[in-house]
Amino acid sequence: MPDPDQALLASLLGPAGPMQRRALAKTITLLESTRADHRLRADELLNAVLPHTGRALRLGISGVPGVGKSTFIEALGLHLIGRGHRVAVLAVDPSSSVSGGSILGDKTRMERLSSDERAFIRPSPAGRTLGGVAEKTREAMLVCEAAGHDVVIVETVGVGQSETAVANMTDMFVLLQLPNAGDDLQAIKKGVMELADLVVINKADLDPDAATRARAQITSALRFLGPHAAAPAQVLQLSALKGSGLDEFWAAVSGFNERQRTSGRLAARRRAQDEAWMWDRIEAGLRQRFKQHPAVRDALPAITDDVLSGRLAASVAARRLLDLMD
């Protein structure tokens, strides 16, 4: 490892403070870089910090636009900092390369939390694929843990499969909902509700009756579809704006985490996540090599067209394309 990276590593693993914050930002910039030499250095740093990771609580948070994610995360972050935690907030937003970084990119969002030196906030990395964006966030999460952040919050918007990616890198996936259970709940993307380890009805103060109805409806739906059918996900109400319900929320998170830890499910979940991430990246790499193979690149458009217009069976097309690689 080159000397500057040794110094970077020492700052990362050293005491909290401005020096560590700069090291954190610099390391994450390195691992977000597309330059091959940066990537090699980032990989070495990543392996060096790895023994210092794993002690944080990794919390995924999602919800449709307007549900109040920023307000909730800021309130939660300040609440946790007040109780002695060090909080990192990261984001997965595959649209950020198009929009110029919508999520957490706006400096005026989470103003109080971002100005507190016990918090570290980083917007979503840019990237062309969700897998790539998510991978960089996952690596940033490990670096934040090594730097001593004991709660890492990974935020995502409801864009395609980004919720699945975040659920697959965290210990607990929290879905924020609005109290009006009718039409707005239909905005829940296919498959998202059942990722939830905990559902939070935010803005419950606006319409307490609607919030109570939503809670009952979601509780009933989760009995059918949650990942823990035997012990369905809890549903809470709170108001992030008024700061009410945060104690109950954190008690639910801590309780879930404690049960996961003592039962061995946390360790199993993380091992399964590690293996799945490795294969996800391998498959992304194989796909990229395939598409860049000259013979495949030449033939792919016409063969795809033949499949889409019903002239060639999909399985036959796949075999022909694979044969081109030999």
Q: Interface residues with its own copies (CB under 8 A)?
A: 39, 43, 46-47, 50-51, 53-54, 135, 138-139, 142, 185-188, 190-191, 193-194, 217-218, 220-221, 223-225, 227, 229-230, 271, 274-275, 277-283, 285-287, 289-290, 304, 307-308, 310-319, 321-322, 325
Instruction: Give the shortest CB-102-to-its own copies separation in angstroms.
Output: 24
| Token duo for residue 294 | 């000259």
Identity of the residue, 257 or 304, whose beta carbon is nearer to its own copies in the bound complex: 304
150 within 8 A of 118, measured Cβ to Cβ: no
Q: Shortest approach of its own copies to residue 291 CB, angstroms?
A: 10
**Nearest approach, Cβ of 11 to its own copies (angstroms)?**
20
Listed residue (126, 217, 233, 221) closest to 179, CA to CA: 217
Closest CB to its own copies among residues 114, 219: 219
Quick one: 56 or 119, whose CB is closer to its own copies? 56
Q: Cα–Cα distance between 13 and 209 in angstroms, integer?
A: 49
Instruction: Answer whether 28's CB lies under 8 Å from 104's CB.
Output: no
Nearer of residues 191 and 208 to its own copies, judged by Cβ:
191
- The CA-to-CA distance between both ends of the chain, in Å, stands at 38
Contact 223, 254 (CB under 8 A): no
* Closest to its own copies by CB, 104 or 218: 218
Closest distance to its own copies from the beta carbon of 77 (Å) = 26
Six-digit token string for 153: 């919050």
Q: How far is the CB of 193 from its own copies (least distance, A)?
A: 6
Distance CA 280, CA 158 (A): 21
d(CA 276, CA 266): 15
Nearest to 217 by CA among 166, 257, 188, 182: 182
- C-beta of 7: minimal distance to its own copies in Å? 21
| Residue with smaller CB distance to its own copies, 117 or 274 | 274
